[in-house]
Structure formats: structure tokens, C-alpha cells
Structure 1
Amino acid sequence: MSNKEKVLIVVVGPTAVGKTDFCVQLAKKLATEVVYADSRQFFKEMQIGTARPTVEEMLNVPHYFVGHLSIKDEYSFGHYEKDALKLLDHLFLKHDFVILSGGSGMYVDAVTKGIDPMPTSNDEIRAHLNQRHKDEGLAPLLKELEIKDPEYYQKVDRANYQRVIRALEVIEITGEKYSSQRKEYVAERSFKILKLGLDRDRQELYDRINLRMDLMLDNGLLKEVESLLPYKDKNALQTVGYKEIFDFWDGKHDWDTAVELLKRNSRRYAKKQLSWFRRDASTHWINPSELDKALEIIKNFD
């Protein structure tokens, strides 16, 4: 294949659907490597609560962007886009196919579409909003965004304070909704993109999520979260699997309630992921057991 015919196989799907095992099996069939687009997997301290691939799962299949950062590091979409594209250029020198395993929609978009270079910014307004976030927390900023731009409020990752602040900054500068100023930006890429979506029967998926949460707790999630208490305000930790147990440590609810919320919020997170990924009509949806079907789709991809 020429460089223009290189193909990035993007595998998306909800938490606990079985992306890791599927990507490993697919990578072995294609003799290639796996790049992660899951912000929850980046930080080495967040191992149990993110269901990071095990050493055994990664055996003979190189994985990238897994546990490569510290929770103390600041890492943005922009950093990831730049690092991922540089890595892909290198991997495509030796592979016709590379797999991108995606759990975080915005990080998948950073690689496949690029980041919309909206230029409007104001250091003073940004500093003021950051100070408000530090003093008051995220909730008041989210409420303001819901009032000023309900359309973007429905789409934004509400745990990502940087995205919320960015939207409010643009609204304050321009006097217009952020959502009305965002265009469908798609950057040029030197490779083709094929998207495979993994899904299961809903009850089966929810049962897998509940089981995964039980296994995380058995494997020491409580101890892992305790070790991260000094960093609980970090954006990376404002996520399912950590927030519920931080709230337990803070005395906001008892342990049984924490476990119940852990499972419920994980199911809600899965629904949100599916809603995000299903927006792309070009995605081929399959069951994780249908590896042969995936290979047929790849074979016929033009």
C-alpha cells in the first residue's frame, strides 16, 4: 500500500463491551499494534478503576498511550492529537493497518477529525473563569452554561472543566452561543479511517458492567482511590469509578450507596458513550464476538 492507502481502524464502544480483547485479537490477525484513545487509560495511577489492559492482554501486541502519564501531568486534547499523529506516522511506516481503541469520543475525534481551531480567546476572561472554578467548583459554571447555551450543555463532557470554561469564554467574548459558532471541522489526514462499533444486548452489557465493578472492588479499587485522595480535584479523576468512592471517603454516603452509584453511573456512562459514537453513520456496528465479520468489513473497505 502507498501512504494514502494506510488505514486506521477505529474501534469504539461503551465501557465493558469487550474492546480490549477484541482489539488484541484483531491486532494479532492483522499483525499490527493498538493505540489508545481513552483518557481514563492515560494515567499510570488509575489502573484498577479504568480496567486497564493487563500485561497478559498486551502480550505480543504493543499498546500505546496506556499508563504513560502521571496524574500530576497536565495533558490536553491538543497534546494528544499531536502525539498520536506523530506516533501513527511512525507506525504506518511498518503497518498497512493500525488500530485505534476508543472509549473517549473527544479523543477519537481529535485523531480522526482534528480539533476545531476556533481562534477567539481572552486571557483575562479565561483567568477569571479558572479562578471561579477553583473557588466555587464546576457546578455553578455548568449551570451558567446550561442557561446560556443549552445545546452545547447537552453535548459537552460535563466532567471536563476545560471544555466548559472554553465555551463560557467564547460566549462572554462574542455574546453568542458557543454551539452556534462551532462548525463541523474535519482536518486532512494522511490515512483512511474505518470505524467499527462494538455493542451487545443491553442487559448483557449491563450485567458485564456490574460484574466489572465487583471485580474492581475485589481487586483493590478502594485502596487505589485512597492513594489518589490528594489529587481528587484533578480533572482526570472527575470520572465514574473514582467520584463515587471519593464521595464515600468524604462521608457523603455510606459504602453500600457508593457501590450502587458506582454501578448505576457506569451504566449511564455506557449509554452516553453509545449515544456519542452512534452519531457517526459511517460506523459499522458488530458484536465483539464477530471477529470474522470485522475482518470481512476491513477486507472490503475502500
Structure 2
Amino acid sequence: MSGKKNILVSVVGPTAVGKTSMAIEIAKTFQTEIVSADSRQFYQEMEIGTAKPDAAELAAAPHHFINSHSIKEYYSVGQFEQDAIRLLDQLFQKHQVVVMVGGSGLFFKAIWEGFDEMPSIDLRLRDQLNEEFKQHGLEPLLEELKVKDDKYYHEVDRHNHQRVIRALEVIRTTDQPFSSFRKGHQTKDRGFENVKIGLELERPDLFDRINRRMDLMIEQGLFEEAERLMPYKDHNALQTVGYSEIFGFLDGEYDKEEAIRLLKRNSRRYAKRQMTWFKKDEEICWMQPNDLQQAIQLVQNQLNA
């Protein structure tokens, strides 16, 4: 008789598409637990702007990696991989199915395939690079990356300053190209099988949801939350859509109306980037947020296979 089959059900997709609701319904169906792979929901201090599950949703199924860290801590993808795999090993002792949900593609990749091991970085170097970005913009950093690692320069999202800074941290620390540490598709052996469920909506519907969610966050006190977090605005966790736009307003760069326009625009752009990332994965089965029975059938089919 073969051993027990473990299934990790990943629910992915763009912001505001309805991932949390789908994940909870799947977890309730299979009487299991949920692992968050949302890189912003880890942080206790970032409550409103990260659209964390509310009290009723958290009570509906056990959740992990929600409010698990402080923005004062540095928490990398590599650390998440180690912690989450350790947790999954424990959860699969109790459950045949575990649900993972979020919109952070790199964090899913770390669990599905394993993440390339990177050298440890002096946090003072990160602060220095962030200061250079603040003073001179992204262009000089891109020029440095092009000279020192042309291969990664042509692969990276050159609008994402965090990715550029991350690469330069490694380059300046090791005097080696960042691309030399990226092993590519050497997938690690995992003790589970994957069922990957992607949620999508027609673009006008998704953008309408994003705009409405942003209005609700503002109503709930997003600007006040960002103001409380101003002392930490240079921390990596807060270099993100939903906060950086408000920091610009609080710094006097533009008025509140412009901050709200930027919040909505940048959230829509972020959703498009998320879809671009996940659409590259041919193993993801795409469906509408209300296709719960289809999702449950997918998991059941994998269990019976």
C-alpha cells in the first residue's frame, strides 16, 4: 500500500481578486489550515494597507504567517522558505491537504521549487543603497547593475527598485554578478504534490474591486496608519504600494487627492505585474473567484489520482 499523499493547494492571483475567501472555503471543506504567502501580511504593524483576513475570516480556519513578524525585523524569502517548509512538515502530520494563499510570486516559488541561497548582507549596505536611491533615483543604480551584471540587468523588472537594490547588495558584498547565484530551475524535492489555483477576473471588474478596496482602506484609516509608520518608512517592508504613496503626501510632495490617485493607479499596476508573473506558470489552473466547486474538484482529483 502506498504512503499518504500530501497536497499543497496554492491559491494565487492579483490583489483584491478574492483569494482569501477561496482559500478559507477550501480549508473548511478539507478541514485544514492556511499558510499565508503574502509578504506584507507577515508584519504586525501593517494592518489596514495589507488587506489581512478579518477576525471572522481568521476564526473560520487556522492561519499561519499573519502578524508573525515586526517591520523592525528583516525577513527574507530564504528565511520564509525555511520556516514555511518546517511548518508544512508539521501540518502534513495532521492533514492530507494544506492551503497556501497570497499574491507574492517569489514566496510561492520558494516553496514550490526552492529559492537560490544568497550570501548574507550587512544591513548597513541596504540602508546605503536605499539612501542612494532616495538621493539620486534609480538610474545610477541601473547603470551600475548593467556594468556589473548585464545578464541580470536584462532579466530584472527595471521599474522595481527593490529588486535592483537586492541585486546590488549581493554584487557589492561578493564582487560577483548576482546572476551567478541564481541556479535557475533546480527544483528541490518536497514532501508534497502541488495543486495550483489561479483566480482572475476581467480587467474592468478587477480594477473596480481594487478601487473600491482602496476607498474602504482609506475609510478605515489607511492614512493614519501610514502616519504612525512614518518613522519606519525606509524599512524594506514599507517600500510597497499602499504606503509609499502616502509617505510622499506626508512629506509634502503632493496633496491628498493626488496620493489617492497614485494609490489606486499603483495598485492596478501591481495587479498587472502579479498576473504577468503567475501567467508564466503553466501548472496553474485559472478560474473565477466564485468557482469554488471547480477548485474543490481539482483537489479531490489529485487526492484520488
Question: What TM-score results when the alignment is normalised by the length of structure 1?
Answer: 0.89
Return the offset for 1:136.
1.3
- 1:58 and 1:109, CA in 2 relative to 1: closer, same or farther beyond 3 A? same
1:34, 1:82 → 2: CA distance?
17
Identity of matched residues, %: 44
2:201 is matched with 200
1:269, 1:150 → 2: CA distance?
21
User: Structure 2: which 5+ runs fail to align?
Assistant: none
1:164 is matched with 167
Asked if 1:152 is matched to 2:155, the reply is yes
2:43 is matched with 43
Which segment drifts farther, 51-60 or 254-263? Answer: 51-60
- 1:37 and 1:181, CA in 2 relative to 1: closer, same or farther beyond 3 A? closer
SS in 2 for 1:152: coil
Give the 5 Å matches for 1:171-182: 173-174=175-176, 178=179, 182=183
State the Cα RMSD in Å.
2.5
Return the offset for 1:60.
3.1
Return the offset for 1:284.
0.4
CA contact (8 A) 1:24 1:61 kept: yes
1:153 aligned partner, one-letter code: V
Aligned residues: 296
Asked if 1:136 is matched to 2:135, the reply is no
1:272, 1:179 → 2: CA distance?
25
Return the offset for 1:155.
7.6
After superposition, the C-alpha distances for 1:168-202 in whole angstroms (9 at most, x for unaligned) are 348x734x672796422211101111110010111
Give the 5 Å matches for 1:250-261: 250-261=251-262
- 1:127 and 1:43, CA in 2 relative to 1: closer, same or farther beyond 3 A? closer
- 1:111 and 1:156, CA in 2 relative to 1: closer, same or farther beyond 3 A? farther
1:142, 1:4 → 2: CA distance?
49
- 1:127 and 1:56, CA in 2 relative to 1: closer, same or farther beyond 3 A? closer
2:98 is matched with 98
Question: What TM-score results when the alignment is normalised by the length of structure 2?
Answer: 0.89
2:127, 2:70 → 1: CA distance?
24
CA contact (8 A) 1:160 1:235 kept: no
1:111, 1:122 → 2: CA distance?
20
1:166, 1:191 → 2: CA distance?
34
Which segment drifts farther, 152-161 or 107-116? Answer: 152-161
CA contact (8 A) 1:158 1:164 kept: no
Give the 5 Å matches for 1:234-273: 234-273=235-274
2:187, 2:248 → 1: CA distance?
39
SS in 2 for 1:258: helix
- 1:54 and 1:131, CA in 2 relative to 1: closer, same or farther beyond 3 A? closer
CA contact (8 A) 1:9 1:98 kept: yes
